[in-house]
Amino acid sequence: MRGVTPDGGLFVPAMFPMVEMSEISALHNKSYAERTADILKMYLEDFSSEEIAEIASSAYESGRFDDPSVAPLRKLDRSTWVMELFHGPTAAFKDVALQILPYLLRLAAKKNAEAGELTVLMATTGDTGKAAMEGFRDLQGTRCAVFYPRKGIGEVQRLQLETSEGSNIHAIAVDASFDEIQNHVRELLTSDTFSSKLAGKGCVLTSANSINFGRIAAQIVYYFSAYADLIASGEIVAGEQVNFVVPTGNFGNILAAYYAGNMGIPIHRLICASNRNKVLTDFFSSGIYSVHRTFFTTKSPSMDILFSSNLERLLYEAADRDGALVSAWMGQLKECGSFSVGEQRKEWLDGTFCSGCADDRETLKEIKDRFEQDHYLMDPHTAVASSVLRRYRQETSDDTPSIVVATASPYKFSEDVLFSIAGADAIKDRDAFGCASELERISGMKFPEQLRRLQELPVRQKAVCEINGMMDTVLEAL
Ligand SMILES: *Cc1c(COP(=O)(O)O)cnc(C)c1O
């Protein structure tokens, strides 16, 4: 239930449970919910197998995903697959973890005999907050409130937030920038006045942000799932190594791949893909993490990040689980904006990780090339990964079967995707939905219902406030 440890660090598994290759192969006969239960029960020892199975079924088998396999694989070419993680209610990968996390939190609260309603508070630029609201929507005993900047978020994102359904969820527009809102949410989360007022309303605060271990645990599952599917379809033999290429921001998704490797998935390389904000590319190539750089806004906004919070968990393994050393690095990052892990640790990282980046021009070109060569539509985040894989192969001649992790539906970024495959004329005079219809016509790939519906849904979330009114507004909503 706690995001961070009392001394400000992150929780990590005390040890990594090993899964035998025969058990991995056997996953192929199981549903995604069953695969989830098999993996999660190795970590969540306070929960019974029955409890975990029931939770996994609620999350993945109640029709919230528009593909029953939740994380289907598509073959692009002889040695490349795409793992589609965007079949959930918000059409992006955070759904996979945020559909199950609320159930896990609720059960944890019950076991801890927490008295009040579990309450999550978040600042969002759209994507994560919406995924959290969908996860908590109408889940008894929980509440979820998200704040977002009134100006400066995308049209689709704004519609997704404003049309949110569920009696226990609240989206509040704030007249301030995302950073101001984020800072104020952090203040509220540690404010005694606020928590006692919340307690008066029967609410207890918890966190669902990307450093919550429950999200990482849920993300480990799909790496097992993909590997089992490749064995089952005869594309690889059990035990054969694969690469995963992951479009990376906060380092949560790729960290889960690394954990899956520690548990028995045979991984040759984990390829960390960044956009123009290439702080991680530079880290993996030099061993130096430095935020002394310009921040760019790009076509892959969910990767526009300079502080990758989950990297700390990998650093802990790189440091041979020497917490004091990680603390020292984190202290240097806070004070001086950079730290170096040294030659020996860098070599250790090189054993599994490599990295690359793609700017917007390369990203849009990759969308076009993949569409023309493989008739596959990619969103800009996925295209960053695909572009990095292409260059990696040219430079290394590594022919290992590779899985590109697809983190968002191309229809979430319909204007950029249509522009890249059909040019400037195609997007002229079209809004996001017009572009989506045109994309559907050209590609023959279905515009997901959960995005199409946004045009028709009524606006339900109307609360607006100033930065200083956030506490009162949320208390009133809750
Ligand atoms: C959050 C997000 C990412 C980055 O994932 P991390 O786990 O933060 O590295 C990539 N693509 C999309 C579409 C996302 O929403």
- Ligand 1 pocket test, pick from 93, 412, 417 with the greatest ligand atom count within 8 Å of Cβ, gives 93
Which of 1-5, 68-72, 89-93, 114-118 is predicted with the least confidence, judged by mean pLDDT? 1-5
Closest ligand 1 atom to the C-alpha of 412? 13
* pLDDT in the model for residue 112: 87
Residue-wise pLDDT tens digits, 303-353: 998 989 999 999 999 999 999 999 999 999 999 999 999 999 999 999 999
Q: Which of 98, 298, 381 to mutate to test the pocket of ligand 1 (most atoms within 8 A of CB)?
A: 381
Mutate to test the pocket of ligand 1, among 128, 245, 251, 302 (most ligand atoms within 8 A of CB): 302
Average pLDDT along the chain: 95
Residue 264 identity (one-letter amino acid): G
Least confident segment among 55-59, 177-181, 326-330, 367-371 = 177-181
Is-contact 436 91, C-beta < 8 A? no
Q: What is the pLDDT of residue 183?
A: 85
How far, in Å, is the centroid of ligand 1 from the Cα of 247?
7
| DSSP strand pairing (288-290 vs 402-406) | unpaired
Closest residue to atom 2 of ligand 1, CA basis:
302
Task: Specify the ligand 1 atom closest to the Cα of 94.
Answer: 15
Give Cα 382 to chain centroid, integer Å.
12
Give residue 286's identity as a one-letter amino acid code: S
Give the mean pLDDT of 211-234. Answer: 96
- Ligand 1 pocket residues where CB is under 6 Å: 92-94, 127, 210, 247-253, 302-303, 381, 407-408
140 alpha carbon – ligand 1 mean position (Å): 28
Q: Are 240 and 401 in contact (CB under 8 A)?
A: yes
Output the CA 382–ligand 1 centroid distance in Å. Answer: 10
pLDDT tens digits, residue range 6-31?
A: 887 899 999 999 999 999 999 999 99
Mutate to test the pocket of ligand 1, among 101, 303, 305, 412 (most ligand atoms within 8 A of CB): 303
Whether the predicted pLDDT of 3 surpasses 80:
no
Residue 442 has pLDDT above 90, yes or no: yes
Q: Report pLDDT for 205.
A: 86
pLDDT digits (tens, 9 = 90+) for 250-263: 999 999 999 999 99
- The mean per-residue pLDDT over the stretch 346-368 comes to 98
CA distances from 226 to 70, 182, 339, 454 (A): 11, 35, 35, 31
Mean pLDDT of the 354-377 span? 98
What is the pLDDT at residue 178?
A: 84
Atom 11 (ligand 1): residue with closest C-alpha?
Answer: 407
**Is a pLDDT exceeding 80 seen at residue 152?**
no
Backbone angles phi, psi at 341, to 5 degrees: -90, -10
**Exposed, middle or buried by CB within 10 Å (0-12, 13-18, 19+), for 182?**
middle
Task: Indicate the burial class of 217 (C-beta count within 10 angstroms; 0-12, 13-18, 19 or more).
Answer: buried
Task: Quote the pLDDT of residue 165.
Answer: 93
Q: Which position has the higher pLDDT, 305 or 406? A: 406
